[in-house]
């Protein structure tokens, strides 16, 4: 069986990471959450006063981009891959609404994207990788053997994010989350640098009415076909 690259792109809060993690675990591949990388850069900016009133101080960020070190480590206890920013576990902090509200601005900056894309490409040396994001099938791995483009309505996605935050004890009003989801869709699709779009050879799936189990089986069947 050959080892392949699986690229999963789509709108925010579509369940891309659930899908990607499930597949990676089932087939023994590495999983990389590219959104966590843009979230970490956003947190770095917030902590270092590089975003004021929704505007990024790009000159200062450009000077300091080399100081931002992002790693993923598997936590045996929680059984999840966790994100580290300069040696500190920031897995929960990067998921807050404060970060979600500013990540689209940071991820639209060209030099930030180039730095992250280079890092993402460096993870694929031996293939056998599942990566999720917005531009994985179009920019990061245009030659990926399997590309998925995931969609669901903004209301369903906002409900999922609301439930996820609540489970983690970080409840936020549903209306604020829905607003954030719509805002990010717009910014992700209209930005000049690598806008969110479906790669021509990606398989599209609307998972709005699907259970996680159904989604898992759907993807595993396609994966098994592709690695034959
Ligand atoms: O998948 P997520 O919601 O954690 O992603 C956070 C943000 O990062 C999202 O608003 C868009 C951006 N992003 C991106 O521009 N490119 C990627 N490959 C992944 C995420």
Cβ of residue 184 lying under 6 Å from some atom of ligand 1: yes
Contact 130, 8 (CB under 8 A): yes
Rounded Cα–Cα distance for residues 134 and 12 (Å): 9
pLDDT of res. 179 = 95
Q: How far is the CA of 228 from the centre of ligand 1 (A)?
A: 31
Residues 6+ apart with CB under 8 A from 156: 208
For 105-151, how does the pLDDT look when each residue is reduced to its tens digit (9 = 90+)?
Answer: 999 999 999 999 999 999 988 899 999 999 999 999 999 999 999 99
pLDDT of res. 93 = 96
Boundaries of every domain in the chain: 5-227
Q: Which of 38, 42, 43, 183 to mutate to test the pocket of ligand 1 (most atoms within 8 A of CB)?
A: 38
Rounded Cα–Cα distance for residues 209 and 38 (Å): 29
For 77-106, how does the pLDDT look when each residue is reduced to its tens digit (9 = 90+)?
Answer: 887 889 999 999 999 999 998 999 899 899
DSSP string, 1-42: ----EEEEEESTTSSHHHHHHHHHHHHT-EEEEHHHHHHHHH
The closest residue, in CA terms, to atom 20 on ligand 1 is 35
> What average pLDDT does the structure give for the chain?
94
The mean pLDDT value for 165-179 works out to 93
The mean pLDDT value for 44-73 works out to 96
pLDDT of res. 129 = 96
Confidence of residue 185 (pLDDT cuts 50, 70, 90): very high
Cβ of residue 95 lying under 6 Å from some atom of ligand 1: no
CATH (residue range 5-227): 3.40.50.300
Q: What is the 3-state secondary structure (H, E, C) of 103-149?
A: HHHHCCCHHHHHHHHHHHHHCCCCCCEEEEECCHHHHHCCCCCEEEE
pLDDT of res. 80 = 82
The closest residue, in CA terms, to atom 5 on ligand 1 is 35
Structure tokens at 125: 């040396």
Cβ of residue 40 lying under 6 Å from some atom of ligand 1: no
pLDDT of res. 125 = 83
The mean pLDDT value for 56-63 works out to 98
Cβ of residue 39 lying under 6 Å from some atom of ligand 1: yes
């Amino acid at each position: 069986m050959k080892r392949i690259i699986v690229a999963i792109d789509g709108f925010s809060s579509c369940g891309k990471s659930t899908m990607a993690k499930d597949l990676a675990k089932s087939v023994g591949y590495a999983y990389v959450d590219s959104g966590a990388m843009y979230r970490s850069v956003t947190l770095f900016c917030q902590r270092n006063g590089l975003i004021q009133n929704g505007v990024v101080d790009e000159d200062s960020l450009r000077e300091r981009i080399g100081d931002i070190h992002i790693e993923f480590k598997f936590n045996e206890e929680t059984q999840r891959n966790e994100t580290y920013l300069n040696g500190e576990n920031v897995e929960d902090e990067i998921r807050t609404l404060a970060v979600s509200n500013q990540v689209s601005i940071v991820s639209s900056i060209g030099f930030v994207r180039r730095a992250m894309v280079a890092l993402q490409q460096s993870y694929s040396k031996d293939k056998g990788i599942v990566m999720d994001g917005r531009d994985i099938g179009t920019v990061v791995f245009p030659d990926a053997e399997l590309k998925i483009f995931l969609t669901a309505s903004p209301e369903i996605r906002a409900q999922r994010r609301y439930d996820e935050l609540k489970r983690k004890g970080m409840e936020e009003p549903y209306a604020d989350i829905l607003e954030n989801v719509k805002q990010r869709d717009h910014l992700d699709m209209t930005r000049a640098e690598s806008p969110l779009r479906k790669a021509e050879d990606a398989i599209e799936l609307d998972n709005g009415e699907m259970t996680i189990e159904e989604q898992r089986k759907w993807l595993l069947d396609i994966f098994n076909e592709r690695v034959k």
